[in-house]
Amino acid sequence: MSYVGPDFDPPQPRRPRRGPLTVALAALVPGALLGWLVYEAVGGSGGSGGSDKAGASASAASPSTARPWSAPAADDGKQASRSPSSPAPDGSLKGKVVVIDPGHNPGNFQHTAEINRPVDIGTNKKECDTTGTSTNSGYTEARFTLDVAHRLRAILEEQGATVKLTHDGDSPPWGPCVDERAHIGNAAHADAAISIHADGSAEGNRGFHVILPASVHAGAADTRPIVGPSRDLGERVAGNFLRVTGEPPSNYEGDGTGLVTRQDLGGLNLSTVPKVFIECGNMRDSKDSARLTSDAWRQKAAQGISEGIVSFLRES
């Protein structure tokens, strides 16, 4: 998603300190990120080709702390196999509810008046929704997010989870608004909720980042009860997403950690259940867009996200 409109304003200034969020992914450096760097150095492409020195350097500067994530296998562009820490589907998530929020809606382009309507996000008002971004070739974020959401739903249902989508492309024909997206997760009493996006930044800005809710207590927003579990969910999603997809942490958001905390997102501010956003990559960067438009890589993206969610649910 581009940072324009509802839930997409420029990130709020952050204090230049490294705390739990940096530590969360720092453990991936000696294993996961090092494995990715070695692979890129010997010429692997994983669907995008090349390496990203800026993102890698930022991540390598972070302190190291042990985490329960293994190094990624060589990213050869094929669908990743299930990791040893993620058992085969066995129905063990029966009784767990996951809400998947595919960012934007393919119909938003035809309903600009409706999506421009301001809604209350607790701290202030924002537009209902936006159209989202796209690759330079016209592959839209809304198509990408819905595709990954469908793949993710299938994987989680194999594990026995009950999965609800905030929308399914044509129902409703636009939106829903950002406040409604949060309320859908709340009404479902979701054990975990995730909003799937892709960014629209400049060429050369690449990598994924997971957005965590800040502690907000204003108006209708009170994220204090979900900040801790959402951080846990976000760290697990980020670690597994890196390991399975080989996509590096963002080189332009999160100081190389792949984690960003925001207090201006209605989808997080109004949530009463553990919830995070994931920006899977930058649609405007040629290397990232090659991955985002790859059917095989989108399957990897869904697998990586699912393994983070499964890990969270089994420990919660």
* DSSP annotation of 255: G
The CA-to-CA distance between both ends of the chain, in Å, stands at 29
Nearest 5°: the CA angle 100, 101, 104 is 155
Tell whether omega for the bond before 176 is within 30 degrees of 0, i.e. cis: yes
Question: 102: closest CA among 301, 307, 253, 316?
Answer: 301
Quote the CA–CA distance of 169 and 5 in Å, as a whole number.
20
279 carries an active-site annotation: yes
Distances from the Cα of 96 to the Cα of 156, 208, 213, 309, angstroms: 10, 27, 22, 11
Active-site residue, from 141, 235, 253, 279: 279
11 dihedral zone (left: phi>0; alpha: psi -120 to 50; beta) = beta
**Token pair listed for 41:** 């150095």
**Which residues are identified as catalytic?**
279
